[in-house]
Structure 1
Amino acid sequence: MTAPRRPARRPRARTPKGRSRVGERFEAVVGPVAHGGHCVVRLPEPESRVVFVRHALPGERVLLEITEGTEGDRFWRGDAVEVLEASPDRVAAPCPYAGPGRCGGCDFQHVTLPRQRGLKTEVVREQLSRLAGIAWDGEVEAVPGDDHGLRWRTRQRYVPLRDGGRGMRKHRSNDVVPIEDCLIEATEPSGHTALGRHFEVADDGFWQVHPGAPDVLVTTVLEMLRPQPGESALDLYAGVGLFAAFLVEAVGRSGRVVAIEGDDVASALSATNCPGAEVQAGDVAGVLDSAFDEPFDLVVLDPPREGARRPVVEHVVRRTPRAVAYVACDPAALARDLAIFAEHGYALSALRAFDLFPMTHHVECVALLTRG
């Protein structure tokens, strides 16, 4: 996604469905990892409830405390507040603010980096299998640019405190934890460059936060699409033109690149960053409803976290591209969109996943779709 990100959503206030179970504790063996930075625990009777538990690892025996849930809820949420039998992949969190009841910014500070990537691999595989019927045997890959999973976040938001300090919110809460030093925040600002090329970006505009991300994403997209001179390409959710700039170079003066972006400021900057591209500001589905309805050879999709969704996917397939590169920051949204592509004869030909957000549950995927 290359437009400004929206702030993380806070949980909606819900009508209680009976007696609250918050604060109750249960001893349990932790099940598999689930999408969202937690693991699954199935409490036996009389509770007979699924609990999504943070700060745990599969196979551990823990004492968990319910943090959200009432008698009538289908599932509860909880924290592992005591580890009774630890996984060999458990480590002491390097950050003093990580753990139950503390900062909610990181999900996996208690996990070795190789196992973090293994957990993310399991999540990507499960989402693709369950939502799209796709078996993937790849692995989440490390990306150069962080310090053992730390000091990679080149942009960080804090909550200003009344005493002049700063803080971070607790998980699924508006409560704030004062923070002196966030260990995933980079110590130096990062320039907006990709493969040696500079990009203009608004002060509050989106740019990939991991310093290794622009290079690896551009390289992967170009390797997958293999753009040729004279071809035409659509760059959807183009942001400031990260992919469009390199597509323009690849297809040459005889080719064509159209960059569509919903954010007016980012779209204007993409015109600066991508001389030779046709730049259009506006909602992607809305623009494709009324313009650029001719065939295109290539499409790059880099949608927001919720994915491209059916209207945009169907607009894409109507342009009959030979190849589509889909850049996704949420494996569930990616899988749902891949299933829609499959309805129209576009199959997954390749997929790579990158650990652009160490210590968190987030993972970035790049998928190649081709006809037939």
Structure 2
Amino acid sequence: MAQSRRPRRSGARRPASARPAPKAPVTDGPVIELEIERVAHGGVFVAHHEGRVVFVADAIPGERVVARIVDQGRDRFWRAETVEVLTASDDRREHVWPEASVDRAPEKRAGGAEFGHIRMPRQRALKADVLRDALARMGGVEHAVEVEPVDPALAPDVSIDEGTGWRTRVRLHVTPDGTVGPYAARSHTVVPVASLPLAVPALAALAPLGERFPGVRAIDLIAPSVGDPSLVAVGDERMPRGDRPTIEERVGDRAFRLDRDGFWQVHTGAAATLSRAVQELIDGDLFDPRAANHDLYGGVGLLAAAVGDRFGETVRITTVESDARATEHAGANLADWVGARAITARVDRYLDELDEKASAAERARLRDATIVLDPPRSGAGRAVVDRLAALRPRQLVYVACDPVALARDVGLLRERGYELQALRAFDLFPNTHHVEAVARLGAIV
């Protein structure tokens, strides 16, 4: 999910008057008792009531809870919020973020830590369940899944047991009267809080909790690995053209320059974790440094650099990214490799043109290629999968931040002659439902 899950586009903001009014949280829905059965994708849990599926927040499988129905607008299922735990799981703990605890009214619970009431080993097991189930249902693949914590050596200041202190980027929202806070869970209601336990300590100390910022839309807190953290007040004006503030991130011995408001992995150890995983999952016996290797959705060049660092200065690799600023940085960040190129293009259009115009020699180099792709949360999708399958590279290394999107694309690739050969999953978003996976798929001969 590794560094081009689409950079934030500073010039695409709407004026405040054009923003839709937040939907008021439901506080008077019916209250029922439910037996929680299993986890579902999206950080909620499955129960049944009178034959209807109910997706319940703030619960754990095996628990019996009292829940308020907050959405009855669908025939097939309802949504509910836990308001009381009658029979608690052994894996329930005090929430790591008091402002998100089940003890608070649902409409006042801070969002962004929906698994914070669950002990860490069970969190990872639940995420593995979601990914394994998605691969079976949508990908047609039965595959063992273990969600690994980040290597403490890559994030020494993060609490592995508590899953706190890892966020290097935090966005706080601001109400018209200037109140600062995160959104409440599953709503656009700003909730004042006194703590930010998921943030790295430097950001937790910098956060202007309790202060007022009238006339501001949001507050961005950014803690790069090089230099001081910063607080950026975000208005509704467009980002000015020309020079933009930049920051430096370091992964091992390598530095990456990017826009301050550009995309970078949020967990302090994520960039190094994903770089290492991509390096290890590439089948070295199939890798040809002189082939037409690619890094699709390449951002500022993190994964292209990981490939180059493993296979040496003779590597040819093209990184493709739709954001022109990110591509500009990628070109500079990859300057070590004579064979590296950075191209600004939408991936689907780039592959269309490649397939249309490639010579016989270029097609041969593409068939020998390794393709790394790190698409946005929605995944690569059918159009990109179709074109990749037509170009027929030897192996694909797919970095995914959404298990359902990954599973769908694995299924599409299986239909087109690629099989899932290896998979690793990482807990890069502790105390949330999100999980990052890296998969290798090889062409079936």
**Same fold, TM-score > 0.5, yes or no:** yes
Alpha-carbon displacement from aligned partner over 1:112-163 (angstroms, at most 9, x marks no partner): 0000001101101111111111112121000032213001010010012456
Task: Identify the match of residue 285 of structure 1 among 339, 345, 348.
Answer: 348
Query: How many Å apart are 1:229 and its aligned residue?
Result: 3.8
Alpha-carbon displacement from aligned partner over 1:241-284 (angstroms, at most 9, x marks no partner): 00112323445454411110011111111001012311110111
**SS at 2:388 equivalent:** helix
Query: How many Å apart are 1:5 and its aligned residue?
Result: 4.9
Task: Identify the match of residue 181 of structure 1 among 185, 188, 195.
Answer: 195
Matches within 5 A, 1:122-271: 122-143=129-150, 144=152, 145=155, 146-147=158-159, 148-161=162-175, 165-188=179-202, 189-191=223-225, 192-225=249-282, 226=284, 227-271=287-331
Partner in structure 2 of residue 42 of structure 1: 48
Task: Identify the match of residue 310 of structure 1 among 382, 406, 409.
Answer: 382
Alpha-carbon displacement from aligned partner over 1:207-240 (angstroms, at most 9, x marks no partner): 1111111111111111111345434311000000
Contact conserved, 1:21 with 1:69, CA < 8 A, in 2? no
Contact conserved, 1:62 with 1:82, CA < 8 A, in 2? yes
Alpha-carbon displacement from aligned partner over 1:28-64 (angstroms, at most 9, x marks no partner): 11110000001001002xxx32110001000101111
Aligned equivalents of 2:330 and 2:290: distance in 1? 21
**SS at 2:421 equivalent:** strand
Query: How many Å apart are 1:190 and its aligned residue?
Result: 3.4
Aligned equivalents of 1:319 and 1:254: distance in 2? 23
Shift in alpha-carbon separation, 1:352–1:5, aligned structure 2, 3 A = farther
Q: Letter of the aligned partner of 1:233 in structure 2? A: N
Contact conserved, 2:289 with 2:316, CA < 8 A, in 1? no
Query: How many Å apart are 1:285 and its aligned residue?
Result: 0.4
Shift in alpha-carbon separation, 1:13–1:341, aligned structure 2, 3 A = farther
Partner in structure 2 of residue 363 of structure 1: 435
Structure 1 gap ranges (5+): 15-19
CA RMSD of aligned residues (A): 2.3
Q: Letter of the aligned partner of 1:158 in structure 2? A: L
Q: Matched residue pairs, number?
A: 361
Q: Does residue 1:53 correspond to 2:53, yes or no? A: no
Q: Does residue 1:113 correspond to 2:131, yes or no? A: no
Contact conserved, 1:232 with 1:256, CA < 8 A, in 2? yes
Contact conserved, 1:11 with 1:172, CA < 8 A, in 2? no
Q: Does residue 1:31 correspond to 2:37, yes or no? A: yes
Aligned equivalents of 2:423 and 2:28: distance in 1? 41
Query: How many Å apart are 1:105 and its aligned residue?
Result: 1.2
Aligned equivalents of 2:134 and 2:224: distance in 1? 32
Task: Identify the match of residue 84 of structure 1 among 83, 86, 95.
Answer: 86
Contact conserved, 1:228 with 1:250, CA < 8 A, in 2? no
Matches within 5 A, 1:3-18: 3-5=6-8
Moved more, 246-255 or 296-305: 246-255
Shift in alpha-carbon separation, 1:253–1:109, aligned structure 2, 3 A = closer
Contact conserved, 2:131 with 2:145, CA < 8 A, in 1? no
**SS at 2:352 equivalent:** helix
Aligned equivalents of 2:309 and 2:403: distance in 1? 30
Query: How many Å apart are 1:291 and its aligned residue?
Result: 2.9
Structure 2 gap ranges (5+): 13-18, 203-222, 226-248
Aligned equivalents of 1:252 and 1:92: distance in 2? 48
Partner in structure 2 of residue 94 of structure 1: 96
Shift in alpha-carbon separation, 1:249–1:21, aligned structure 2, 3 A = closer
**SS at 1:110 equivalent:** coil
Aligned equivalents of 2:20 and 2:396: distance in 1? 34
Normalization by structure 2: what TM-score? Answer: 0.77
Contact conserved, 2:8 with 2:261, CA < 8 A, in 1? no
Aligned equivalents of 1:63 and 1:364: distance in 2? 32
Query: How many Å apart are 1:94 and its aligned residue?
Result: 2.1
Alpha-carbon displacement from aligned partner over 1:170-206 (angstroms, at most 9, x marks no partner): 1221211012321101123231122321100111001
Normalization by structure 1: what TM-score? Answer: 0.91
Partner in structure 1 of residue 231 of structure 2: none
Contact conserved, 1:230 with 1:253, CA < 8 A, in 2? no
Q: Letter of the aligned partner of 1:86 in structure 2? A: A
